[in-house]
Structure formats: C-alpha cells, structure tokens
Structure 1
C-alpha cells in the first residue's frame, strides 16, 4: 500500500487536479475557487473563482484553463487575472445540469461530459440510485456549438484522450466501465468493462497511460437498487436521510490502462488521512490525486 503526501488547500473538495509545465498543481474547490499550488506545496495562490462548482480541469492550446463547472457549464479562466468566460452552458437550448470532465485535442476540440440531465451535483447519489442513464458525452469544436456524440450513459464522468488523439475514453461511474469513442467518427466500443470499483475522473498521463480514479469499490447495495429494486423501493431510498443511502467506502485507489485497455497499474494508497480519489494526473513519475471531499490534494511517486 502506498503512502500519500498530503497537500492542504484553503477550500473543501479539491475534486480534480491539473499540472502545469513547471509542476504547479491546479485544483477547484466547493466554494468556486481555483487554486495554484507549487510543486512542494508551500505556496498557494487563488487564481480566480467561477461562481459555481469547478470539477474537471484541462489545458486549452492557448494556455487558458478549461473548467467543467457542474453548475455554470464549460468555462475558461486566464491564469494572470482569473477572468472567466463561458464557452457553453446549454445544449440544443437546454441548460446543462452537471458538466463534469473533459479532454482537449490538439486542434482545440473539447470532448466533455454532462453527467445527468435530471440530477445536479448536490444530488449526485440520486442519479446513481435511480440509474437514470441520462449522462452524455459531448463535443465542442472551436467556434462551434456543443453536440451530443454519445448518450444513455450511466453517470458519465471522466474523459481522457489517447496519446495520438484518435480516440477518447469516457467513464460510466454507475455501471463501472470505460467506453472508447473514435474522435473522427464518434463510433463507440468497450474499452474496459466490469471494473472492480466505480470510476470517476480519468486522464492521460505523461507516461502515455490512461489513469483512472476509483472513487469507491463496487457496492452490492447500489447494484441491487440499479438492477433489482422495485420503483417504489428506489423512491423510498431517494427520500431517505443521507446517512441511509449507499455511500463511498473510505479508500484511495487508482489504476492505469494502456491504449489497448490492458491494465498496467492498480494501486491502493493509505486512506487513513486522505480518501476518495476523484481526480488523477500522472506527471513525470508523480501521481497527483484530487478528492471530492478532502480539503487537500495528495500525491505519490509512481
């Protein structure tokens, strides 16, 4: 089991992590802030704020931050002054409910997810329990409008590009699988099925592998609700107090897959002081982690 180096940030829920060329780590927190953290963790700068809930972070070709904001949509932020601009907050005239994660191709095309058309981030468990399968993978070309490439996904979550940009991989948290989508045709096929845990964010590492966070092990109670429970049972669970609903187990686990879907790494970390990995970024041998619930990033040496 790997030990983690914990890097506190001044905000709850450092959900994703993105690394700059100089090793600076960027993350967004529940209060809408985006922070830049020096590689040693000793210097932290508030870059700006979105006014919503920043989740997935990526680089755009022009150096701006791309932010998937669960409440405000697909945004950009400039690093020097924190200026925020909206790239897209609606699809076909309907406002996005749960913009989550993205991958950017060399030509600036953005592939991103809208996790649910029914439930927002404050009710993310409800989408998994109800298994709405309303998650979507979308594409936004420079100067264009968002278009749905793949729908019917069970809580669409992380997106990662291949090294050559010929395909992207999208995570379905609810059904514990990864789907491969060709970027030229939009054709979809399985990448990895029957994962041992529920995947969250995923990202291409500098090592050429696709790194996957496992937010929680497979949950038998959730699987029952999704596949066997009567509608009235699901409705009762949705109305139940939060403490009675299925919840993530206290773990910190990530995996990495080759471009053909072959497992390269499956790494469990000590979750005593930090848990629920939802963001991952391998950068030059260091694997950075973000968490939906922790006021800190974490990392370990691969």
Structure 2
C-alpha cells in the first residue's frame, strides 16, 4: 500500500463518496453542498441542497442526480435545468434516512430508521413505487451491490457486521446472512473491489479496513481521525478515497468545525459494482 496523500481539507463531514465523470463527488454534511473534486484537488460545489445532515447521493441511469434528504424523508431528483424535485416520499416508512445505492437494474435502495429504533431498507423501483424490503438493521450505513446485481451488502454500524442479501428478480431482498462479523468494529461507508473484498470506514476506531467474506481482515489503514466512508475511483478505479473527520459526538456535528479531509492511496484491486 502506498503512502496516504491529502487531497482536500476544510470540509465539515465528507460523506457518500462516489466516483462519477472523472471526479469524486460527495456530500459535505452540515453545509448543504454536494461537491466534486478532481485528482489534483480542485473542488467545485455542484449542487446546493435544502437539508443539512444526513444527505447522500447517487445517479439514475439517465444521469440525473439523486439526493436523499434524510430528515425530511424525501428522495430528490435533480432535473436538467438544475431544479430539485421529489422523486419519492420515504417518510411513511421511517423518520430519518441515510445511504443510497442504485444498482445496475435501476433499483434504488435507501436505508433509514432512527437513532433508537431498528433500521430498514426501502426499495424504489423504476416505476416509482416504494416499499420496505428489509428490517431490523442495527444502525444501517453504507451499502453496495455486487457487479452481477445479485447481492446487496449493508454495514450495520451498531451490529458490528456486514450483512448480505440476495437480490430477487423484482428487487426484493432475501436470504439474509452475515457477510462478515467484525468484533469491536463500527462499519460505516463501504465499497467493493474486484477481488471480492469490501473496504469499510470506521469512525470510533479511526481506520479504514479491507475485509473478505467470512471476516478475514486483509488490510487496515490507521488514521488520526474517524473514517466515515471510502470509495474506489480514479482512471483505473484503484485510487482509494477516504473521507475522514474528527468525531466529537452527534451533538457537535453542526458546530461549524471543519476538520474533514479527503485522503487517497493506491489500492491493490480496482473498484467494482455499485456505487
């Protein structure tokens, strides 16, 4: 593994990183900004959103940006003229919403719940219908779908594990199982690589970890602050981006501190799947 490099500083909480159109896009929680940064560190605010924490992003197949407006229980869609419109209403299923992934069959998976309630996963189908497809998720965070569109993996931060589901033909989830038990870990944002491993960020343990199915830890990158998420991108998708920030508790997330950074390093295997 190569040395860590600092790509960008001065962020609040960088979250939901996505490699898209040759740049890393991410949500800057607390600032109402979706930002894109290139490999030289030049950043640009791409969208301003009507929410603060949490909000996460992905894209429809036609290139329109989706934004999860977490506390409002809405999935927003950015139209070609820049207007943000409601794509789906989620508030009937849960009070707060977090991560999103759009798979290769145009199914949209979003997770949510509450700080003191079991989390759920909802499916928004290409025809716009919304339904719950999983429950009892212990503080759901990052999600990823395998390249064959057959498996969804979700990080259960308070469950200390990565959980996998089979994706059925209609987008439903079945055959729930432990993909990796992670004793003492709090997995947050995740991404997949071509060797079948998962990278996950861990805030309280201040690290980013590569793990294989069955819980075998392959590599650990230690940081001086919490790692909220990670993503593989770059020209060959072998640049690992780490979203890091100092963590002082939920009550301080909106206090204006700008300790957020994006760090990069070279990964041994390229990114695959979604996001």
Q: Do both proteins adopt the same fold according to a TM-score greater than 0.5, normalized to the shorter chain? A: yes
- Match for residue 227 of structure 2? 277
* CA distances 1:94-116 after superposition (whole Å, capped 9, x unpaired): 5x432111221112101120042
Residue-pair matches, total: 245
* Equivalent residues of 2:209, 2:217 under 8 A apart: no
What is the aligned partner in structure 1 of residue 173 from structure 2? 186
Per the TM alignment, residue 36 of structure 1 is displaced from its structure 2 partner at its CA by: 1.1
Q: Does 1:155 align with 2:139?
A: yes
Alpha-carbon displacement from aligned partner over 1:203-231 (angstroms, at most 9, x marks no partner): 234665432212223xxxxxxxxxxxxxx
Instruction: Please say if 1:215 is aligned against 2:203.
Output: yes
Aligned match of 1:97 in 83, 88, 95? 95
Identify the range of structure 1 (170-179 vs 206-215) with the bigger mean alpha-carbon deviation.
206-215
Whole-Å Cα distance in 2 between the matches of residues 35 and 103 of structure 1?
18
Contact 2:211 2:219 survives alignment (8 Å): yes
* Shift in CA distance, 264/175, structure 1 to aligned 2, threshold 3 Å: closer
Gaps in structure 1 of 5+ consecutive residues: 117-126, 218-250
- Structure 2 distance, partners of 1:143, 1:291, is 37
What is the alpha-carbon distance in structure 2 between the residues aligned to residue 134 and residue 299 of structure 1? 33
- CA deviations on 1:167-214 (whole Å, 9 max, x unpaired) are 101111111111111110521122112444101111234665432212
Which residues in structure 2 correspond to 1:19-30 (within 5 Å)? 19-22=19-22, 24-29=23-28, 30=30
Give the 3 Å change call, closer, same or farther, for CA 99–48 of structure 1 in structure 2: same
User: In the alignment, does 2:266 pair up with 1:301?
Assistant: yes
- For the residue of structure 2 that corresponds to 1:142, the secondary structure is coil
Which segment is superposed worse, 190-199 or 44-53? 190-199
Aligned to 2:77: 76
- How far residue 262 of structure 1 moved from its aligned partner, in angstroms, is 5.8
* Residue-by-residue CA offset, 1:258-297 (whole Å, 9 max, x unaligned): xx446463222342xxx21111111221100123654332
TM-score by length of 2: 0.79
Residue from 177, 180, 199 that aligns with 2:161: 177
Structure number with higher helix proportion:
1
Cα distance per residue 1:66-91 (max 9 Å; x no partner): 3233224322336x764323222325
| Residues 210 and 270 of structure 1, relative CA distance in 2, 3 Å threshold | closer
Name 1:242's counterpart in structure 2: none
Q: Paired residue for 2:122?
A: 138
Instruction: Supply the distance in 1 between the matched residues of 2:113 and 2:5 (Cα, whole angstroms).
Output: 30
1:143: Cα distance to partner?
Answer: 2.1
Matched, 1:265 2:249: no
RMSD: 2.5
8 Å CA contact retained: 1:160, 1:169: yes
Change (3 A) 1:210 1:66: farther
SS of 2:200 mapped into structure 1 = strand
Structure 2: gaps spanning 5 or more residues: 247-258, 268-275
1:108-135 Cα shifts (integer Å, max 9, x gaps): 101120042xxxxxxxxxx3xxxx3421
